[in-house]
Amino acid sequence: MKQFMIKNGLVVAGGAIQGLGMGLFLFPHFIPSGGAGGIAVLLNYWFNMDMGIGLWIVNFSMLLLAVTYLGKRVTLWTIIGITVTSISIQLFEQIHIPNRNIFYDLVFGSVLLGTGIGLLMRQGVSNGGVGVIALIIASGKNISPGQPLFWINCCIFLITAVIIDWKIILLALTSQWISTRIIDLICQVTFHQSYTLGWRKKP
């Protein structure tokens, strides 16, 4: 029970921290936080859909893969994580910071994003969206999830840049570089949790 409560607290914290980075710092500049974030930005651009809701829809659509390849427990934890993230985004989007600086927002948002995702993946829980695919690849190839996550997101960023604005891809790639470094640092330690996947990072 103690282990379960610790895991639950870390998953909720990871989702909330991820939502803080997105909603307060990245999304106000339309900087995609990742593949799912990039799709959410496109949905907002095309249909004026709230990005928290859009992100939840994209994440939920990937849960079939999570059930098939990662198991029901991981899928349940992923639902909890993405729900907390979406709620956090909606809450933090309501906060307006005067005289914003895009450079500071980019750095702070990316560090928080990487910390949140890292906490989730450190528990063997996907952050939703293309994070499901990244976790599947990582568990199969014994590598850190930050690497496949980076390359998958880059492809989605390219599409977003073509449709909305090319400068977005520069901001998004910078954000991804910072956040994936944080993810890899958090996931660096070899681990195994009874409720999660376990993998060993290649030396």
Under a CB-based contact definition with an 8 Å cutoff, are residues 126 and 95 in contact? no
Considering only 74-83, 140-149, 168-177, which range has the smallest mean pLDDT?
Answer: 140-149
3-state secondary structure 165-186: CCHHHHHHHHHHHHHHHHHHHH
194 pLDDT band, cuts 50/70/90, is very low
The pLDDT value recorded for residue 82 is 81
Residue 197: which pLDDT band, with cuts at 50, 70 and 90?
very low
Highest mean pLDDT among 20-29, 43-52, 107-116, 129-138: 107-116
pLDDT score, position 189: 59
Chain segment 72-121, per-residue pLDDT in tens: 887 888 888 888 988 998 899 889 888 889 999 999 999 999 999 999 98
Phi/psi-derived region of residue 49, left when phi > 0, alpha when psi is between -120 and 50, beta in every other case:
beta
The pair of three-digit structure tokens given for residue 36, joined into one six-digit string: 């799912």
Q: What pLDDT score does 91 carry?
A: 92
Mean pLDDT, the chain, integer: 81
Please determine, for residue 64, whether its predicted confidence score (pLDDT) is greater than 80: no
Looking at per-residue pLDDT, the higher value among 35 and 47 belongs to: 47
Q: Residue 198's pLDDT is what?
A: 45
Neighbours of 112 (CB within 10 A): 23
Mean pLDDT of 137-150: 77
Residue 166 in tokens: 């090319």
